[in-house]
Amino acid sequence: MQNILEIENLNLSFLIDNKKFNCIKNLNLTFEKGKMHGIVGESGCGKTMLMSSVLGILPNNAHIDTGKILFNGENLLDSNTNLIKFRGRKIAYIPQDPMTSLNPLYTIENQLLEVVNLDGKKPLDEAREIIIQKLEEVGIQNAKERLKSYPHELSGGMRQRIIIAMALLTGAELIIADEPTTALDVTIQAQIMEILVRIKNSGKTIILITHNLALIWQYVDTATIMYLGEIVERNSAKGLFKNPQHPYTKALIQTLPKGTEEKLKNIKGQPSPITEIITGCAYHPRCDFCMEKCTTEHPEFKNNVMCHMY
Ligand SMILES: Nc1ncnc2c1ncn2[C@@H]1O[C@H](COP(=O)(O)OP(=O)(O)O)[C@@H](O)[C@H]1O
Ligand SMILES: [Mg+2]
């Protein structure tokens, strides 16, 4: 099977008060073409920074120390690679808050026309037809009238549909969706997820970043569990639930509601800030299975899990 994206030995750090702190550590990850890949972890685990590295949209104080990010074999981190060729054209981005990608001053039509008519050569009527068709595909009713709306006149769910339509209009092969449904209520969330599944079934590759394990179970093909800048477990989504290995994965699964009777469980503590240096396994301060070795020795990633128990 062909990989659309390969991340090799990625190290990313932040400069904070003139000191360097690691945020992503020796990370290796591949993404097979035509699948929906989930990346899960609590807030602060480095999911957004990982994807920002792929998109080339890192904050000013971030620095990529080592690594390669190969998109269809071409290294996006190579200084000779023209990122403009990829960003928004071959790789599209769906953010958590669609307002960050929409311009409040322009109508939906104007913003989508810009994407469809990059070279300005399509007749207006033709470009408009293409847009209306895409908006209908992502479930926007009365698409023709909606074109005249400004972003603030639409609901959050509708704005997210427009961002997805925009991603499709670029013809991107890879779509990175960073918590795309977190700000939406559950019924809308399910509708958006179903649109993403349809897009995947049309041959595109999707990376879904989420802290919601329930979405992984329902919609995703492969699952990657991330903790403090490292991949701690990887499996098919179904395999992960059937046979979770890493204590962090097990703890995350336990937080899922099982019925109305049971009280929700949570994981003790929270991911530490990158300024806190932890020796051994990064998860050991929160781990129910912590052994002596875990406090001093960093576990290797072997057979899809990074834990001394295996
Ligand atoms: N500009 C920045 N300067 C310093 N630290 C940052 C900056 N941006 C993010 N971080 C830190 O990097 C870590 C990973 O952040 P992020 O990738 O946003 O996590 P996630 O998306 O998993 O919630 C967090 O500890 C966060 O506080
Ligand atoms: Mg994030």
pLDDT in tens, 139-187: 999 999 999 999 999 999 999 999 999 999 999 999 999 999 988 888 8
- Which has the minimum average pLDDT: 98-107, 180-189, 257-266? 257-266
- Residue 146's region, left for phi above 0, alpha for psi from -120 to 50, else beta, is alpha
Q: Return the pLDDT at 121.
A: 82
Does residue 25 line the site of ligand 1, with CB under 6 A?
A: no
**Mean pLDDT in residue range 98-115:** 93
- What separation in Å is there between the alpha carbon of 96 and the centre of ligand 2? 8
301-302 and 91-94 as β-strands: parallel, antiparallel, unpaired? unpaired
Question: Quick one: which of 227, 236, 237 has its CA closest to 270?
Answer: 227
* Angle CA 16–17–18, to nearest 5: 90
> CA–CA separation, 277 vs 284, rounded Å?
12
For 265-309, the pLDDT digits (tens) are: 788 899 999 999 999 999 999 999 999 999 999 999 999 999 999
CA atoms within 13 A on the CB side of 163: 28
* Angle CA 47–50–52, to nearest 5: 105
Q: Return the pLDDT at 260.
A: 67
Q: Return the pLDDT at 53.
A: 96
Q: Return the pLDDT at 117.
A: 80
For 32-70, the pLDDT digits (tens) are: 999 999 999 999 999 999 999 999 999 999 999 999 999
Residues around ion ligand 2, judged by CB within 5 A, are: 48
Does residue 103 line the site of ligand 1, with CB under 6 A?
A: no
Pocket test for ligand 1, best of 20, 23, 25, 231 (most atoms within 8 A of CB): 23
pLDDT of 264 strictly over 80: no
Does residue 19 line the site of ligand 1, with CB under 6 A?
A: no
pLDDT bucket at 122, cuts 50 / 70 / 90 = confident
Pocket test for ligand 1, best of 39, 274, 275, 277 (most atoms within 8 A of CB): 274
pLDDT of 118 strictly over 80: no
Q: Return the pLDDT at 85.
A: 77
> CA–CA separation, 210 vs 304, rounded Å?
20
> CA–CA separation, 303 vs 127, rounded Å?
49
> CA–CA separation, 212 vs 216, rounded Å?
7
Rg (CA), the chain: 21
Q: Return the pLDDT at 204.
A: 97
Q: Return the pLDDT at 225.
A: 98
36-40 and 205-210 as β-strands: parallel, antiparallel, unpaired? parallel
Q: Return the pLDDT at 203.
A: 95
| Ligand 1 atom having least distance to the Cα of 229 | 14
For 9-24, the pLDDT digits (tens) are: 999 999 999 999 999 9
Does residue 272 line the site of ligand 1, with CB under 6 A?
A: no
The single-letter code of the amino acid at 271 is P
Q: Tell me the percentage of the chain whose pLDDT exceeds 70.
A: 98
| Ligand 1 atom having least distance to the Cα of 49 | 17
- What separation in Å is there between the alpha carbon of 119 and the centre of ligand 2? 33
pLDDT of 84 strictly over 80: no
